[in-house]
A and B are shown apart, each in its own frame.
Chain A
Amino acid sequence: AQKVTQAQTEISVVEKEDVTLDCVYETRDTTYYLFWYKQPPSGELVFLIRRNSFDEQNEISGRYSWNFQKSTSSFNFTITASQVVDSAVYFCALSGASGGSYIPTFGRGTSLIVHP
């Protein structure tokens, strides 16, 4: 069975602070995908990144960076110099790449509030 844990229910920061959202996963699949989605107050989930389990390189996209550590089964997301527009609920998700269920497993989400 797959499991995604986002232990942080809510994080509150002040603008320009750096913030890291944690994601820990469990899977028996040898190959899998990890995802992060952003859900702003408007409600639509926006795809941010997909990472293949074969690729442990960290990724940076502007103020966003992702740290994939297979040894600790974690795929953490860092926002540098946070802005008010980053306020949203962020979901981490896991999908097996072969065999098993076609249904991705989502974490319960972390609500990020960035205060001006």
Chain B
Amino acid sequence: GAGVSQSPSNKVTEKGKDVELRCDPISGHTALYWYRQRLGQGLEFLIYFQGNSAPDKSGLPSDRFSAERTGESVSTLTIQRTQQEDSAVYLCASSLAPRETQYFGPGTRLLVL
């Protein structure tokens, strides 16, 4: 079956612009996670959704970052007024239920010039 998909695969933007990153989880997966991975680094948790609710937003680095999920499916991560330090790969993962195995998408590589 289809895995987790993310779009765009690559995004180059200018400092100060807003960007939207999209994640389509595996159908039926109730839990959805966003992570950030800087070059050569590990995974940095950003936000977790259960259904359309986000019980844990503790990893969002600033109020420039927000995310939503609709229809217990697609999620969008929005970064406003991008900064160069936002450059990273943004990974989305979904799981059938919380604490179950997470399946990752291919990521969106964001470059802020």
The answer to whether B48 and A103 touch across the interface, beta carbons within 8 angstroms, is yes
**Residues of A contacting B106 in the complex (Cβ-Cβ under 8 angstroms):** 42-44
Given contacts A91-B43, A95-B99, A106-B42, contact A45 B91 (CB under 8 A): yes
Shortest distance between the CB of A76 and any CB in chain B (Å) = 18
**Residues of B contacting A103 in the complex (Cβ-Cβ under 8 angstroms):** 33, 45, 48, 56
| B89 interfacial by beta-carbon distance below 8 Å | yes
Complex CA gap A45/B105 in Å reads: 8
Interface of A is mostly: loop
Interface of chain A residues 34 through 62 with chain B (CB within 8 A): 35, 37, 42-47, 50
The answer to whether A44 and B99 touch across the interface, beta carbons within 8 angstroms, is no
Interface residues on B, range: 20 to 34
The answer to whether B102 and A43 touch across the interface, beta carbons within 8 angstroms, is no
**Residues of A contacting B98 in the complex (Cβ-Cβ under 8 angstroms):** 102
The answer to whether B42 and A44 touch across the interface, beta carbons within 8 angstroms, is no
Q: Which of B33, B56, B99, B107 has the most CB of A within 10 A?
A: B99
Given contacts A102-B55, A103-B56, contact A45 B104 (CB under 8 A): yes
The answer to whether B55 and A47 touch across the interface, beta carbons within 8 angstroms, is no
B residues sitting closer than 8 Å to A (CB atoms) are 31, 33, 41-43, 45, 48, 50, 55-56, 89, 91, 93, 98-99, 101-107, 109
A residues sitting closer than 8 Å to B (CB atoms) are 33, 35, 37, 42-47, 50, 91, 95-98, 101-104, 106-109
